[in-house]
Amino acid sequence: MAFVVAVAQRKGGAGKSTLAANLAAAFAGQGERVALLDTDPQKTLGHWHAARGRSPRASVLDFEAPSGWRVPGAADRYRRSHDVILLDTPPHDDTDARIAIRAADLVLVPLQPSAADLWAMGATLDLAKAEKKRVALALNRVPAQGRVAQEVAEALRAQGLTLLDASLGNRTGYATAFASGLGVTEAAPRSVAADEVRALAAAVRGLARR
Ligand SMILES: Nc1ncnc2c1ncn2[C@@H]1O[C@H](COP(=O)(O)OP(=O)(O)OP(=O)(O)O)[C@@H](O)[C@H]1O
Ligand SMILES: [Mg+2]
């Protein structure tokens, strides 16, 4: 049975699509059968996937962009045949985010170490709680310098929240790979970014077994 992960965070630009695409590519590169579902009307991952079709470095994964009420059915179709299903979700729209969260085993919440992301996150955590879903937070765009990420991490853990040990730094490699329809593990497998994504994938995988 597939482990179903909804990547959700009400704040726009927190890194939902970046995490969903990079995790999908990383899992697929490790031989896992991956389905990536873009439930965001912005169709960010639809564009990513279209660019991906032209790259010889891209691992095989299944992609669909179901809207609204079609999301649970799409997830169900892959549940038996696949190892991981990743759902990218829209910002702001709690109705669509709720549908995706309801279909998931885990809600993965990316957040940049900023007050805006922390404030917006509360609404997503409330949705997950209402749907009785497990939540894991992952810091994204962590700056190379300074203590802000460490302070945010300590504050989150003090609230009893599950924060993954793996985080993604603020690196141009994420945007460059994304523009080519690739994950960083495919575009630059020896990069620090690729190491970060592999660690994040391992942390998410670890949660599947609990
Ligand atoms: N770790 C990172 N390092 C550098 N740039 C990043 C990183 N993560 C995301 N970005 C950039 O930040 C922008 C927003 O990221 P992304 O599209 O993944 O966020 P999102 O949460 O999906 O946004 P939306 O809410 O609009 O769907 C993109 O331009 C992306 O390339
Ligand atoms: Mg997005």
List ligand 1's pocket residues with C-beta within 6 A: 12-18, 40, 42, 44, 91, 140-141, 168, 170-171, 174-175, 178
Q: Kindly provide the residue ranges of all beta strands, DSSP E only, lying in the chain, ordered along the sequence.
A: 3-7, 34-38, 62-64, 84-88, 106-111, 134-139
> Tokens at residue 111, please?
């957040």
pTM above the 0.85 mark? yes
pLDDT of residue 210: 63
Nearest alpha-carbon partner for 136 in 33, 9, 1: 9
**Contact of 135 with 109, CB cutoff 8 Å:** yes
Give me ligand 1 centre to Cα 80, in Å: 31
User: How close is the Cα of 174 to the center of ligand 1, in Å?
Assistant: 8
The one-letter amino acid code at 119 reads W
Number of the ligand 1 atom closest to the C-alpha atom of 9: 21
Side chain identity, residue 200: L
pLDDT at 99: 96
d(CA 105, CA 10): 19
To test the ligand 1 pocket, which listed residue (11, 174, 182, 200) has its Cβ within 8 A of the most ligand atoms? 174
**Can you give the residue ranges of every domain in the chain?**
3-208
- From the list 61, 65, 43, the residue with the least C-alpha distance to 52 is 61
CB 179 within 8 A of CB 51: yes
Neighbouring CB atoms inside 10 A of 79's CB total: 14
Please provide the distance, in angstroms rounded to a whole number, between the alpha carbons at the two ends of the chain: 14
The model's pLDDT over 99-118, given as tens digits with 9 standing for 90+, comes to 999 999 999 999 999 888 88
What is the biggest distance separating any 2 CA atoms in the chain, rounded to whole angstroms? 45
* pLDDT in the model for residue 94: 83
**pLDDT, tens digit, 9 for 90 and up, residues 84-100:** 999 999 999 889 999 99
Minimal-distance CA residue to ligand 1 atom 14: 13
Q: Show the low-confidence residues of the chain (pLDDT under 70).
A: 210
Q: Which helix (H) or strand (E) holds 192?
A: helix 192-208
How many whole angstroms separate alpha carbon 66 and alpha carbon 96? Answer: 11
CATH class of 3-208: alpha beta
Residue nearest to atom 31 of ligand 1 (CA): 175
Tell me how far apart the alpha carbons of residues 72 and 149 are, in angstroms, rounded to a whole number: 35
